[in-house]
Homo-oligomer: A and B are copies of this chain.
């Protein structure tokens, strides 16, 4: 792990210091249309380097995270006369850092990057691990490189330029990291809500910092994704099933919301199978209900949900379904299996806890 992680809400000063430490080279600012409209004015007012930078603006949204956009970014880098001493600032959500990181890591075999995530999900997730990517031929993230930015400047400064739903979606990943970390971190997260009236960028920043540190620790301990890194899948087996069911109902839900509900189901399984505390489960479910509402299911949905869970990449047998579960907060156990009956029992309790009985 070579990259610097800088946690600060003085983003402009941090970016200017970084650019100066790199010998004040040519600076190119890559962003997307939405970020350019809402968050960019804040950065331009704060940072001389960003204000003086040549700008490349790509269309927003995962649909545009493709070869066509990548090729246009390469062309603009060429038009700008970018060289290996050029620094690209990727300013936006995960789509911008994924595509911008790939463009920079392949142009002339590698320009330098500084990532400035503007969404909570990008801050907590995309800024660690060095993965860059575009979608290709209908497959998400099929083309990419492992390439870390020189630094990521992580703040909570731009979050209130975004819909609250998007903040909550990122916060679900922080809740997951809290569950993987320790009881103190987790309790602090439950005491806070990242949206109005409680939203407070200064108070959120240290919570975000400890959350990124959890991911960094796990990724460093298991860079090749063989063991411990599977712990980061907590909540995602059931979460992906909720996401798929919502899609099939033609009313998609944000990824993080599905993860929040998936975490409830998997903590129930953790309680039933390996003794996770009932008290902690109840306070977590109450938090999720209050902040994320309820994802309504009946027993008629169980077989569809279980079929979706069976498609998870972690499964190695056709029968049981593989889960990462928790013995307690901070004690993940990977490679647990559950039968369809056990999952049905967990979904019964989920409906009870989330008041859908």
Contacts and interface: CB of A to CB of B under 8 A. Distances in A.
Contact of A74 (B102, B105, B131, B137): B137
A74 B145 contact: no
Interface residues of A, number: 22
A188 interface: no
Interface in A303-331: none
A192 interface: no
A144 interface: yes
Main secondary structure of the interface of A (DSSP, over half): mixed
Contact of A106 (B106, B107, B137, B139): B106
A137 B105 contact: no
A145 B145 CA distance: 9
A106 B70 CA distance: 13
A256 to B, nearest CB: 24
B131 A109 contact: yes
A325 to B, nearest CB: 27
A78 B108 contact: no
B144 A106 contact: yes
A223 interface: no
A6 to B, nearest CB: 25
B105 A145 contact: yes
A283 interface: no
A146 B110 contact: yes
Contact of A143 (B107, B139, B144, B146): B107
A191 B106 CA distance: 43
Nearest to A109: B144
A78 B139 CA distance: 9
A134 to B, nearest CB: 9
Contacts of A67: 67, 71
A106 B78 CA distance: 20
A36 B102 CA distance: 32
Contacts of A291: none
A307 to B, nearest CB: 23
A24 interface: no
Given A74-B136, A78-B142, A109-B131, 17 more contacts: A67-B71, A74-B137, A75-B137, A78-B136, A78-B137, A105-B145, A106-B106, A106-B143, A106-B145, A107-B142, A107-B143, A108-B142, A108-B144, A109-B133, A109-B146, A110-B145, A145-B145
